[in-house]
Amino acid sequence: MTTSSVDAREQVPLPPMGAVGFARWSWRQLTSMRTALILLFLLAIASIPGSVLPQRGNDPIAVRNWIEDAPTMGPILDRLGFFEVYSSPWFSAVYLLLFISLVGCVIPRAAQHWRAMLALPPAPPRNLSRLAGTIEQTSGLDPQQVIDSAASVLRKQRWRVRVEEPAEAGSASGSSWVAAEKGYLRETGNLVFHLSLVLLLVAVAVGGLFGWKGNVIVREGRGFANTLTQYDAWGGGAFVNPATLPDFSFTLTDFRVDFERSGAQRGAPSFFEADVTYRTNVSAAEQTDVIEVNHPLEISGAKIFLVGHGYAPKFVVRDAAGKVVFDDEVPFLPQDGNFTSTGVVKAPDGTPQLGFRGLFLPTSALDDVRGPHSVFPAPDDPSVFLSAWQGDLGLDAGAPQSVYRLDTVAMTQLGLEALRPGDIWVLPNGSGSVTMTGFTRWASFQIARDPGKEFALVSAILAITGLMCSLFMRRRRVWVRATQAANGITVVQVAGLARKSTLDDLQSPSLEAELRDLANALRGPEIASSTVKEPK
């Protein structure tokens, strides 16, 4: 390998030849402040599409509709990852580069900071009176005493102090000084802040790999046991074994909801809550709890959140022979704020099979434009609109079917009818009958376990703490020099320098105050005068 003569500290305008030189050059570019700035910008821009286009993780149905509505653009955008922006390769590339840059930037700085914390404060510049805000005063004490008392004052205020005794104490030219430094916390805070961002990323990754999340609809009076088959939807990280989910269970004993009856937010839910009884494992005793929107139930590290609710009308279906082929409550999914809900009833046991598409209206209304719809979410005037189908439900084909969709390719429509609770509809051609016997409510729960979330919270708190130190602390130095003048009087100079901070570009008023206080503390009994120097 050829030796590269590139100085690591030097800014190189063009990539040098040679693999090592180029690698080094690239690394330096990647870890430069300018690159960090550009990557931060890219991160902001790359986040935007995901807020404009529907995202699969949040709303898969909207994504499907979007792609169907835009047959040319849709699939292209889909292939480019625009419907899963935050796990797309390009978004990942931006944040991974940013974090590599961050680590590459922070580690050398941490090493440098470590050395700086071990080093002694530097000696004062030769001419202290050239610094802004330097205070000069005289003292009746000799230089030695002035320096000793300065050092003790500074130590008491928790400065890092270095004292230099005069070469020849008591001689006319004797000049001694003390140097002090404070505010290392600023750089420490900055490093802690950046490193906590890395921790936060790790926490998010832990949650993604070891966490799981599922959704389930539970009807009033029914139960749920935490196994994969009971979920309507479930997703887990790469390191989760779905066979070993914690074996808790619960029953929805009662679900209560109330809606605003007047005002601008008429129809908005004013509260909803679910009474449950639960067992933390198969052999545990039964306990009770109320799950509300901001009050999940936590069992074995998993949290059960109440995320939605709806109606489940109850039907009894008889076949042509009068035999009951279906008798159950069917969850219908709300389609609008007034809970106009859709659902499907499948009765595969009849011959031929019967199927129904339904619309449940808690407060029924009918108009020419919108057809049957609900005008209020509470069940003030409930009814269902059913369309009945006869034929083959297609359940035997083997392909899994959604319980919310009726596949009517092999079926013929029998008719349409509106039913109120208690109504019976005798189907045409002696095909049987359907009765709406009533309705109940259901609640939907999200059950999630995220083992990274406490870790994420700790990282975030560390980040904020570090950030505050970084932004509000100032690294500053103070020097006191005491010189024996020819006439035997001791001249004391108190000077300081604040490093860049929130107060940069300006003189630091608080450093001025510190210098002033220090000068006052050093003032002996016989003082002539003191002078403050302004910057030239």
Partner 1 sequence: MTTTGLALASNACIYAAMVTLTLAMISFAVSFAAGRRRVAVAVAQEVPVAAGGTALLERMPTNDDSSTGRRSGNIAMSLTWLSFGLLLIGVVLRGIWAGRVPWGNMYEFSISSALGILAVFLFLSTRHDLRWLGLFITIPTLLTLGLAVTVLYTEAAQLVPALKSYWLIIHVSAAIICAGAFTLAAATAALSIVRSRAERRPGEVTGMMAKVPDAQRLQTLTYRTVAFSFPLWTFAVVAGAIWAENAWGRYWGWDPKETWAFITWVVFAAYLHARSTAGWRGDRAAWIAIIGWVSFLVNYFGVNIFVNSLHSYAGVG
C-alpha 522: how far from chain center: 52
- 353 forms part of the interface with ligand HEM (CB under 6 A): no
Identify which range of 27-35, 127-135, 292-300, 372-380 contacts ligand HEM by CB under 6 A: 27-35
User: Which residue has 């009894």 as its token pair?
Assistant: 316
Q: How far, in Å, are 345, 391, 396, 407 from residue 399 at the CA level?
A: 18, 18, 8, 12
Binder among 46, 82, 101, 492 for ligand HEM (CB under 6 A) = 101
194 near ligand HEM, rule: CB under 6 A: yes
Q: How far is the CB of 270 from partner 1 (least distance, A)?
A: 4
Of 58, 52, 40, 56, give the one whose Cα is nearest residue 88: 56
For residues 36 and 347, which CB has a smaller minimum distance to ligand HEM in the complex?
A: 36
Q: By CB under 6 A, name the one of 471, 485, 513, 528 that touches ligand HEM.
A: 471
- Regarding 190 and contact with ligand HEM (CB under 6 A), the answer is yes
Check binding of 196 to ligand HEM (CB under 6 A): no
Q: Which is nearer to ligand HEM, 293 or 464 (CB)?
A: 464
93 binds ligand HEM (CB under 6 A): no
130 or 500: CB nearest ligand HEM: 500
Beta strands (DSSP E) in 392-524 are 411-419, 424-426, 433-449, 476-484, 490-498
Q: Which listed option, partner 1, ligand HEM, none, makes contact with residue 443 (CB within 5 to 8 Å by class)?
A: none
Asked if residues 376 and 362 have their Cβ atoms less than 8 Å apart, the reply is: yes
Q: Which does 272 bind (CB under 5 to 8 A by kind): ligand HEM, partner 1, none?
A: partner 1
- Partners of 304 in the beta sheet? 297, 447
Closest separation in Å from C-beta 51 to ligand HEM? 19
For residues 63 and 83, the answer to whether their CB atoms sit within 8 Å is: yes
Helix axes 89-118 and 33-47, enclosed angle (nearest 10): 150
- Please say which residue, 213 or 357, places its beta carbon nearer to partner 1: 213
Task: Report the interhelical angle of 89-118 vs 185-210 (nearest 10°).
Answer: 150
271 binds, among partner 1, ligand HEM, none (CB under 5 to 8 A by kind): partner 1
Q: What is the dihedral of CA 18, 23, 26, 30, to 10 degrees?
A: -170
Question: Whole-number minimum distance, CB 75 to ligand HEM, in Å?
Answer: 33
Q: Are residues 307 and 334 in contact, defined by beta-carbon separation less than 8 angstroms?
A: no
To partner 1, the closest distance from the beta carbon of 464 in angstroms equals: 5
Looking at the Cβ atoms of 211 and 394, the one nearer to partner 1 is: 211
Closest approach of ligand HEM to the CB of residue 476, in Å: 14
For ligand HEM, the binding residues in 290-349 under the rule CB under 6 A are none
**Contact status: 36 vs ligand HEM (CB under 6 A):** yes
Nearest-10 Cα torsion for 92, 98, 100, 101: 160
Using rule CB under 6 A, residue 105 touches ligand HEM: yes
| Of residues 194 and 441, the one with the C-beta less far from ligand HEM | 194
105 binds, among ligand HEM, partner 1, none (CB under 5 to 8 A by kind): ligand HEM
> Position 402: which residue type?
S
Contact 425/434 with Cβ under 8 angstroms?
yes
Backbone angles phi, psi at 223, to 5 degrees: -120, 170
> How near is the Cβ of 492 to partner 1 at its closest, in Å?
13
Q: Judged by CB under 6 A, which of 102, 354, 436, 519 binds ligand HEM?
A: 102
Q: Which does 194 bind (CB under 5 to 8 A by kind): ligand HEM, partner 1, none?
A: ligand HEM
| Strand (E) or helix (H) holding 300 | none
Which of 414, 477, 444, 468 shows the shortest CA–CA distance to 159? 477
In the complex with ligand HEM, the residue whose CB is nearer, 96 or 284, is 96
**Binding residue (CB under 6 A) for ligand HEM from 8, 17, 33, 61:** 33
DSSP of 204-260, one letter per residue? HHHHHHH-EEEEEEEETT-EEESSGGG-SEEEE-TT--GGG----EEEEEEEEEEE-
The answer to whether residue 470 forms part of the interface with ligand HEM (CB under 6 A) is yes
Pairing of strands 324-329, 424-426: unpaired
Choose from partner 1, ligand HEM, none: what does 373 bind? Cβ within 5-8 Å by kind. none
Token readout for 37 is 């700035």
531 interacts with, out of partner 1, ligand HEM, none, CB within 5 to 8 A per kind = partner 1
**Chain residues in the site for ligand HEM (CB under 6 A):** 31-33, 36, 98, 101-102, 105, 190, 194, 197, 470-471
